[in-house]
Structure 1
Amino acid sequence: MSETRLVVARVRGLHGLHGVVRVEVLTDQPEVRFAVGHVLHPEGGTAPLTIVEAAAVDDGPGWRLRFAEVGSRNAAESLRDAYLETVVDRATDLEPGAAYWHEVIGVEVRGLEGQVLGSVADIYRVATAEIFVVRGGSVGEFDLPLVKSIVKVFAPERGEIVVDEVVLDLAGAPVDEPKPRPPRKRPRWSRHGKGAAEGASIGAASAPAVTTPTEGSADATAAPAPEPAPGDAAD
């Protein structure tokens, strides 16, 4: 069985002269993914990057990491702008019935009577809620918050998502007219199909996966943190 990888960070800059990199966090579990001794890999590569130092940046977003295999600023330069992946074990990393974000992309969304409303084309996060962007159906593009009052069946492994379109109020949705959404970060899955998304549990920020809809509702007021600034200056 092929291994599953998750994209958990992107190298945004270098710090100091000893190979420390500053990363944009693309995981809900940085304390786990960036723990000392944990091994990351450049996206699509096999070279290990063993974490020997890790700390959240005090004066801005992101974390600073140092790897055993990277001993100098020159060596770290090759990692600039690289996405970093971790290997995960589905049996221990996912709760029963859970799926990773990339596994939900392309899944068909149907109404209670079986009508096709579109398929999941994108995923973004607002506060603690996951929002699926559904496209390709007769009602045009719409946002689907994953909450129990709306999502009645969530089974991406079977290619099945069933929603209550009455509660979702799709009757007034404009056809083929995208709805405005808050600005967001890059979708958290590999650009080249070699990695997978590090998502989050629906309605909660406790697990690196999409699980089942919660009783809560999407909070559409909060926007994600801004992109980090370009690389740090040397110490």
Structure 2
Amino acid sequence: MDLVVARIGRAHGLRGEVGLDVRTDVPQERFVVGAVLATAPAAAGPLTVTSARTHQGRWLVGFAGVSDRTGAEALRGVELVVTEDVSAEEDAWYPHELAGLRAELADGTVVGEVVGLEHLPAQDALVVKETGGERTLVPFVRAIVPEVDVPGGRVVLTPPGGLLARDADAAIVDRADDDAEGEA
């Protein structure tokens, strides 16, 4: 499976360096001098790393054959990809490992299916298609997703009230019942 490890951002300086929007936990391993990275679109690469450093918390990388700002700007938006099957880390999963997993509550009630993973500024979020068809973003944090069982084909959710669309629908019905009782 091809995994995006970074998206190339704007050029930095005049000598062909680019800033990266890093999508890997191990950039120091992925962006070593001499590393050859596939690209999406494929026509933009492969790219060979000739320099890599951090500057003010941001990764700056140079590639073979890209020696000026114009060349660097031409790479903007290109994704750097690697091929991986499964994550070697404990408690770390690739998006393709999560997609298709059944999303259920701790009591076994099925609430939907994981259809993707979004990288948000604060944390990642599971994209869950609920049984009613609603698309819900579930913060991918241990407090809300305490168990990921890839071999078992499921994730267990302990969502706070109102996070899932089904909770909102139930709250509307409950409020309508309360209003009807108050009028009687």
State the TM-score, normalizing by the size of structure 1.
0.55
Matched position secondary structure for 1:75? helix
Is the Cα contact below 8 Å between 1:132 and 1:143 reproduced in 2? yes
Higher mean C-alpha deviation, range 156-165 or range 63-72: 156-165
Matched position secondary structure for 1:9? strand
Identify if the C-alpha distance between structure 1 residues 148 and 25 changes in structure 2 by more than 3 Å, giving closer, same or farther: closer
Q: Which residue of 2 aligns with 1:105?
A: 99
Structure with the bigger RCO (C-alpha within 8 Å, sep 6+) is: 1
What residue identity is the alignment partner of 2:142? V
- Post-superposition Cα deviations, 1:72-120, rounded to whole Å, max 9, x if no partner, equal 3333333122122133464xx5147853123213322123443211122
User: Where does 1:1-235 land on structure 2 (aligned, <5 Å)?
Assistant: 4-45=1-42, 47-58=45-56, 62-88=58-84, 90=86, 94-95=88-89, 99-123=93-117, 124=119, 130-137=124-131, 141=136, 143=138, 145-147=140-142, 151-152=146-147, 154-163=148-157, 169=161, 173-175=167-169
Shift of 1:150: 5.6
The CA RMSD measured in Å over matched residues stands at: 3.6
- Structure 1: gaps spanning 5 or more residues: 178-235
Identify if the C-alpha distance between structure 1 residues 156 and 146 changes in structure 2 by more than 3 Å, giving closer, same or farther: farther
Is the Cα contact below 8 Å between 1:134 and 1:144 reproduced in 2? no
Identify if the C-alpha distance between structure 1 residues 132 and 50 changes in structure 2 by more than 3 Å, giving closer, same or farther: same
Identify if the C-alpha distance between structure 1 residues 78 and 38 changes in structure 2 by more than 3 Å, giving closer, same or farther: same
Identify if the C-alpha distance between structure 1 residues 22 and 145 changes in structure 2 by more than 3 Å, giving closer, same or farther: closer
Is the Cα contact below 8 Å between 2:48 and 2:64 reproduced in 1? yes
How far apart, CA to CA, are the structure 2 residues paired with 1:23 and 1:94? 24
- Post-superposition Cα deviations, 1:174-217, rounded to whole Å, max 9, x if no partner, equal 1399xxxxxxxxxxxxxxxxxxxxxxxxxxxxxxxxxxxxxxxx
- Post-superposition Cα deviations, 1:134-186, rounded to whole Å, max 9, x if no partner, equal 33136x6463544278634x223442223457xx5579931399xxxxxxxxx
Aligned length in residues: 166
How far apart, CA to CA, are the structure 2 residues paired with 1:96 and 1:135? 26
Identify if the C-alpha distance between structure 1 residues 80 and 175 changes in structure 2 by more than 3 Å, giving closer, same or farther: same
Matched position secondary structure for 1:69? coil
How far apart, CA to CA, are the structure 1 residues paired with 2:151 and 2:92? 9
Matched position secondary structure for 1:110? strand
Q: Which has the higher strand share?
A: 2
Shift of 1:7: 0.9
Q: Which residue of 2 aligns with 1:218?
A: none
Work out which of the two has the higher radius of gyration on C-alpha atoms and give 1 or 2.
2
Q: Percent identity?
A: 30
Identify if the C-alpha distance between structure 1 residues 159 and 122 changes in structure 2 by more than 3 Å, giving closer, same or farther: same
